[in-house]
Structure 1
Amino acid sequence: MSALEPRPRITDPTGGWGWVGFGMLASVVTAAFAWVVPQPAVTVVDYLLAALFLVPCAALLLAWWRIGPRFPHPVVATVLWALPLLACPLLFSLDVNAYLTQGWMVLNGHDPYVMTLGEPQLPGIAVGADWVDTTSVYPAGSLLVFAAVFWASGGLPWLGILLFRLLHLACLLVVAWAVKRVASRVGVPVNTALWAGIATPLLILQWIGGLHNDAVLVALIALAVMVAQRGGWSGLLLGGALIGLSLTIKQSGAAAGLGIVALAWAASPGRDWWRLAGRAAAAGAAAVAVFTGVSVGSGLGFGWNSPTAGSPLAVMSDSPLSWIIQAMRFLGQEASLPPVMRALTLVAGLAVLAAWVWLVVRFGPRPGEPGRPWVVLLGGLLAFALLGPALQPWYFTWVAPFVALTLPDRRWQRIWLSATVVVVMAASTQVSLGSPLLGLAVWWSWRRLEAKDLDVFQERTGV
């Protein structure tokens, strides 16, 4: 039986609601632990306390796994699991403090591309140590969102955190709506798509708990996917415009551009290369126009590209490129860091570009042929995440809502569901090297499941 196919039955006598309640209890415990674990974790004791998160995060994964794709109300389960996290302190990340600080700068007439994040020193808002001496790396759209939330919060840190969580929960519901619409078009059972891509603890813990603004980014990408998938010039141009808007939130929105063109082409393929090139150019022009219009019209411009902006390489992550920088710091080679960081950033950019070219050549559309547009979409986003200068757990939320829509075979379903477990558990440890170690453990576990035992395992677990 396929991991993403509906199961013939739900073993929970409450029809799955018992597991929903279990997952909600796991979220309550996660929120309770957030009051105990220092942010950021610094000492050995801090990290030992942070290890407590493994228990409720594993429990939430179990609840998600057990309700399965046959559960009729996956979005309701998602909201119930997210609610306890609305009132907890910062979880796994201090990024939201940087958001609030930049919002204050915009509202008070300071240029976030000139003033460093450590200068304001707002009461109760401590910016992460890696970003104190840097200027903003976010495009204009994000800065406008930050300013709106700071204004609505009246400068109260707890209220700003709550408002960001409510915004991200709203974005999650927007993604759910878009996925539901698209699933019915591509022939994927709606509950399967919502269970695999929306109810997953990966989104709940990273968007609501960790408060990463990737929620806004993915909501815009999901809307672009929805309109592009209906085909025609309207779908193509509106999809391109939405990608341009996503670019004003995070630069990684560009990684979805090729996929949007491929989806629009698949819905209404033309007859020749000129038409394909023209549609790609039109979508790109729409994206550039929106991105430029918001950046210039807001008066904020393109200062995120300044040399003083924070670099993803500056933070330890699961990217081997970041390990090189951290090793140099450990060895006292601070003076040599700037040229090395520029070189590694260039290497990462070339690697991503090469991956995109390969995706287009191997899976892209042809005159009269749709190609494999979903592979282009997810591959483009994953290439940016895996080959870029940093690799963080929340980067996987870029593709999570759309995996089921690609109709992956059984092997790829197992790989993705295993990766979800690895990323959720590794993020809960707050140790950057956790993903490779947990990934090795999951790989070993799958290898231990011999063919004769796999059917029994699937019958018992629904995998």
Structure 2
Amino acid sequence: MPPGRYRAAPGRALAARYAGLVGAALLAVSGYVGGALPGSTAARVWHSDDGPLTVVLWLLGTGLLVGAWWALRAGAPSTGWAYRTAALWAAPLLVAPPMGSRDVYSYACQGWAYAHGVDPYATGVAAAGCPWVDAVAPIWRDTPAPYGPVFVLLAGLAVTLGGGLVGTVVVLRLVAVAGVLLAALCLLGLARAAGVPTRRAAWLALACPLVGVHLVAGAHNDGVMLGLLLLGLLVLVRFPGKPRPLLVAGALLGLAVGVKVTALVVVPFAALAAVLGRYTVRSLLRDGGWLAAGVFAALAGASVSSGLGLGWVRGLTRSGDSEQWTSPSTAVGMVLDYLGELLGRQPAAVPVTRAVALAVLVVLLALLWWRAWSALRDLNDVRQRVLRMGAARPRVALLGAGLALAATVVLAPVFHPWYATWPLAVLAVAAARTGWFVVPCAVAAFLTLPDGTNLARLVKAPGAVAMTALVVAVAVRGGARLRHARRGGTGWPRWFDPGEPVGR
């Protein structure tokens, strides 16, 4: 059946809605029983009589949420139905304690440090004297803030408004929810511009369990980044080629980068969406130049107004301190280290494989951009413009941005489940086929426990071996498809075919 044409039967849709609601309620209860509450950072699941109950509630709730989301992956009965159901699922999580990680306490302490005149990019929160440091995960107590100046300003504001730890966490959650709501407001315009069914885009991007658990309940700043990012992209597709809107769009993208630098990989693809008329180098430099000016102005303004300058660049170097096999490059390095130990050596391969992955990422991003540029240049032909220009321009640019985010997540030194929401939000409004990114999001929902315990740690060696085997299989298959593409086959560049059907 063509993607997007499937409509769930009313009974099935209602069953999915209320199964997901029950799942969200169970997750909220598990948060109160064994969530990431302030106080001891010892894994409550393993050091509490309520541990088994916490695990049962968490796994059952996650299973119901993921199953309900998966059941309607081809699209909710209507766009409004998708929005209402996503809001219904988010309601129990909005009043739950922080869950899935303890990062919100790191945000609070970084904001406290900034509000009290300490540079969060120069020292860890423990050395800064944060009174709430006991709530921060031990691995992040001595590391500088890895976030941009925009989020440090927001965290400092949250401390000022919230006063104590609980109040600060509440404000940070409201900031995260505001980002999710902003993203939700942009989804319909982006999906319509790209010719993607809005009922499918809204369902995939908003009802995903990762959004409710990690962006709403966990209050991760990824929600703010995505809200600014999608709004910037929406301005671009609505007003291409117009200097003032391009400056505004660039400023919004710059603010997104100022929350998390990951958003920077979207900017080259956003420049493609900025072009009005024929795709030439001159038009790209003209319209993309206005966009770049907006990005630079927003980043420079945030850096100067925060009083921290470019110190946030230094903090990025410590974001990879954690080593888990959920990052493919880290998993390969771990396996090489295991093999070295069997041979009586200590190769210390993880830094090397991570560096190789980042080099591959740079090449892949350049290749993705070139394929998107080539696809858009093909539309310069008059006949092609008449037949396919409508949704092709924004769809190709948005798809490129989503693929760039997906590549960044896969090749980054570390992976956390909420990272999967970055490509999810953009691909939901641009991709014709969805299974390849929906399945990983469903799997990622099971990777943590409510107290922040990473389940990957329980299967460190087997997980690393399995991930390495997957990397090898993907590399072999990808190499074969690229060779086929060079010989004139379809290969992976078909993803940028503006004529690929999406459905309705």
TM range (shorter): 0.7 to 0.9
Task: Show the 5 A alignment for 1:89-128.
Answer: 89-119=97-127, 120-123=129-132, 125-128=134-137
The letter of the residue matching 2:77 is: R
Q: Aligned residue for 2:24? A: 27
The letter of the residue matching 1:224 is: G
> Number of residue pairs matched?
428
Indicate how the Cα distance of structure 1 residues 62 and 302 shifts in structure 2: closer, same or farther if over 3 A, else same. Answer: same
Measure how far apart 1:345 and its partner are: 5.7
Q: Secondary structure at the match of 1:224?
A: helix
Measure how far apart 1:280 and its partner are: 2.7
| Alpha-carbon separation, structure 2, partners of 1:95 and 1:416 | 25
Q: Secondary structure at the match of 1:229?
A: helix
The letter of the residue matching 2:270 is: I
Indicate how the Cα distance of structure 1 residues 58 and 307 shifts in structure 2: closer, same or farther if over 3 A, else same. Answer: closer
Indicate how the Cα distance of structure 1 residues 41 and 126 shifts in structure 2: closer, same or farther if over 3 A, else same. Answer: closer
* Post-superposition CA distance 1:39-87 (Å, at most 9, x none): 4564883686664322101111223344652144212211221121122
Identify which of 366, 385, 394 aligns with 2:377: 366
The question of whether the paired residues in 2 share the 8 Å contact of 1:74 and 1:191 is answered with: yes
* Mean CA deviation greater in 165-174 or 48-57: 48-57
Q: Aligned residue for 2:258? A: 248
* Mean CA deviation greater in 304-313 or 221-230: 304-313
The letter of the residue matching 2:413 is: P
Q: Aligned residue for 1:45? A: 46
* Post-superposition CA distance 1:394-428 (Å, at most 9, x none): 111112123232241xxx32223322221212345
Indicate how the Cα distance of structure 1 residues 212 and 92 shifts in structure 2: closer, same or farther if over 3 A, else same. Answer: same
Indicate how the Cα distance of structure 1 residues 116 and 340 shifts in structure 2: closer, same or farther if over 3 A, else same. Answer: farther
Give the structure-2-normalised TM-score: 0.76
**Aligned: 1:392 with 2:416:** yes
Q: Aligned residue for 2:77? A: 70
Identify which of 124, 127, 137 aligns with 2:146: 137
Indicate how the Cα distance of structure 1 residues 309 and 401 shifts in structure 2: closer, same or farther if over 3 A, else same. Answer: closer
* Post-superposition CA distance 1:263-310 (Å, at most 9, x none): 223xx2335322223333332232122111211222111212337963
Structure 1: stretches of 5+ with no match in the other structure: 444-463
* Post-superposition CA distance 1:329-356 (Å, at most 9, x none): 998xxxx99x988766643432221111
The letter of the residue matching 1:70 is: P
Q: Aligned residue for 1:406? A: 430
Measure how far apart 1:158 and its partner are: 2.4
**Aligned: 1:295 with 2:303:** yes
Q: Aligned residue for 1:228? A: 236
Q: Aligned residue for 1:257? A: 267
Structure 2: stretches of 5+ with no match in the other structure: 381-392, 474-504
Indicate how the Cα distance of structure 1 residues 188 and 305 shifts in structure 2: closer, same or farther if over 3 A, else same. Answer: closer
The letter of the residue matching 2:234 is: M
- Measured on the aligned residues, the alpha-carbon RMSD in Å equals 3.4
* Mean CA deviation greater in 17-26 or 390-399: 17-26
The question of whether the paired residues in 2 share the 8 Å contact of 1:273 and 1:367 is answered with: no
Q: Secondary structure at the match of 2:33?
A: coil
Q: Aligned residue for 1:7? A: 7
User: How high is the sequence identity, in percent, across the aligned residues?
Assistant: 25
The question of whether the paired residues in 1 share the 8 Å contact of 2:399 and 2:427 is answered with: no
* Mean CA deviation greater in 417-426 or 291-300: 417-426
Measure how far apart 1:245 and its partner are: 1.0
Q: Secondary structure at the match of 2:139?
A: coil
Indicate how the Cα distance of structure 1 residues 38 and 107 shifts in structure 2: closer, same or farther if over 3 A, else same. Answer: same
Measure how far apart 1:438 and its partner are: 10
**Aligned: 1:182 with 2:190:** yes
| Alpha-carbon separation, structure 1, partners of 2:44 and 2:172 | 29
Q: Aligned residue for 1:59? A: 64
Indicate how the Cα distance of structure 1 residues 2 and 171 shifts in structure 2: closer, same or farther if over 3 A, else same. Answer: farther
| Alpha-carbon separation, structure 1, partners of 2:469 and 2:199 | 31
* Post-superposition CA distance 1:144-186 (Å, at most 9, x none): 111111111112x223222222222222121111011222233
| Alpha-carbon separation, structure 2, partners of 1:21 and 1:44 | 28
**Aligned: 1:352 with 2:361:** yes
| Alpha-carbon separation, structure 2, partners of 1:217 and 1:168 | 9
Measure how far apart 1:22 and its partner are: 3.0
The question of whether the paired residues in 2 share the 8 Å contact of 1:312 and 1:390 is answered with: yes
Indicate how the Cα distance of structure 1 residues 8 and 73 shifts in structure 2: closer, same or farther if over 3 A, else same. Answer: closer
Q: Aligned residue for 1:199? A: 207
Q: Secondary structure at the match of 2:263?
A: helix
| Alpha-carbon separation, structure 2, partners of 1:402 and 1:413 | 12
